[in-house]
A = this chain, B = another copy of it.
Amino acid sequence: MTNKKMNNTISVDCVIFGFDFEKLNVLLVDRELKNEAVGGEAFTDLTLTGNHILENESLEDAAARVLFDLTGLENIYLKQFGAFCDPDRLKRPNDQAWLKASGRDPGSRIISVGYYSLLATENVTLKWKGRNVKWYPVSEVKDLAFDHMVIFKSALQALRRELLHEPIGFELLPEKFTLSQLQKLYEVILDVEMDKRNFRKKIARMKYLIALDEKQKGVAHKPARLYTFSREVYEKNRKEVLDFNI
């Protein structure tokens, strides 16, 4: 419990998604190598957030710790989606230089377990080890450090898949949200367009989406009704269905 020693071959990487009612974003951190002495050129690029696990810590706890260090939030939705351990995953020149500069053995094999998490993005303030942390639109992410592009793509795929089959979209919205916001979320993440009336008919069948006696305020149009998600109602009524059609 008080053992803070790090395990140097096992790490977690967190792909943190946020939604701003317009697009899906992901949190990335600047990686800046100024010192050319370690054998590479100076460079700046981007990584996911992550860390090595502590010797007495579970993977999930390590991911939650990264998330807490970053946002100060606890009990965030976290989902393990894959383990990444290719022999070459840290072998590009910039990555080798970075490992050397931060005092780690650039030759050692490190496995990273990926977790994605979903954040209702309003009112989150971000700080991480004095490094720059920023939201980037998912559609514009490219050229991440290490094998983080592979990890990121895998997370996105896992998220899309999960979103199709489980009610996790709500994790990206504030507790109270409008149906248009929910529809937009599905449209953006799944890259589809949906019909408003049909979407609402579908919603109407989901008993766990609860209409509140409350409306949006301060919008320059007819204010929308607010809804909330009830996990209890969902858990009571869940069923699954053969759907690998066509």
A residues within 8 Å of B by Cβ? 7, 9-10, 53, 55-59, 80, 82-83, 85-87, 109, 111, 113, 161, 164-167, 186, 202, 205-207, 237-246
B237 near A246: Cβ-Cβ < 8 Å: yes
Query: A-B pairs with the 10 shortest C-beta distances?
Result: A83-B83, A83-B113, A59-B85, A167-B244, A9-B9, A237-B246, A56-B87, A243-B243, A10-B111, A164-B240
Q: Which residues of B contact A109 (CB under 8 A)?
A: 7, 10, 55
B239 touches A164 (CB 8 A): no
Residue of A80, A202, A246 contacting most chain B CB atoms (<10 Å)? A246
Task: Give the number of times this chain occurs in the complex, counting copies.
Answer: 2
A-B contact pairs, 7 of them (CB 8 A): A9-B9, A55-B109, A56-B87, A165-B165, A165-B244, A202-B242, A202-B245
* CA of A87 to CA of B57, assembled, Å: 6
The residues of B that contact A57 with a CB separation of less than 8 Å are 87
